[in-house]
Amino acid sequence: MKDTFTRSPPSPARVDKTLISKTYMSTLKDLFLDELADMYDAEKRIAKALPKMSKAATSQELQEALNNHLEETKEQITKLEEVFDSFGEKAKGKTCKATVGILEEGDEIASDNEGSPTINAALISACQKVEHYEIASYGCLQEWASLLGNDRAAELLGEILEQEEAANDTLTEIAESSANDEALGDEESDEEEEAPAAKSASAKKSGKR
């Protein structure tokens, strides 16, 4: 009688780590291009929205900041097209639902605060929501471009990220220096305080005559 025994199952084939790496790189590239298309659409929408926001602002400083960022946004669209090209892809957009929602909310905020001393603070709030979304998005895209070994794309995305951060800082400065005080009606209060003082001074002059 032959001895019976259970053979151990064959050892699994060794996984080619290079193949796994290439697969993951391909997956990351797909994610990168998908998010890039998202931001390409977002910037085009923002470029259309900024003139309306600038027109709604009553602060000259805020108007200038929004107009300056509009020019930057146009440049960013061109840079994103360069990023697509650096990956051998044609620039294309994918509806950015987040930006659509934020901009719709911005329109609502501007409408609700039209003619109010809160208008500039409200517009800054709406704009900064857009900026924060962009900062988060471009931070990820820049990192992914680096991981994918595309230094030119990472450089371009880094430049856009810096512009968005600077724009956000400018909006904060305007809010802290004037817009928030306007929303509280502080400037109106100052004017009311100055008016009685002026009347008092005028009365004293009249009394001396």
- Show the low-confidence residues of the chain (pLDDT under 50): 4-12, 15, 188-206, 208-209
Q: Indicate the CATH number for domain 20-184.
A: 1.20.1260.10
Distance CA 16, CA 21 (A): 9
pLDDT at 73: 98
- Where do the structural domains in the chain lie, given as residue ranges? 20-184
Distance CA 96, CA 120 (A): 26
Burial (CB < 10 A; 0-12, 13-18, 19+), residue 128, is middle
pTM: 0.78
DSSP for 49-90, please give it: HHHHHHHH---HHHHHHHHHHHHHHHHHHHHHHHHHHHTT--
pLDDT at 190: 43
pLDDT at 20: 53
Nearest residue to 141 via CA among 120, 127, 155: 155
Nearest residue to 59 via CA among 168, 187, 194, 193: 187
pLDDT at 10: 46
pLDDT at 198: 46
The token duo for 19 is 């193949």
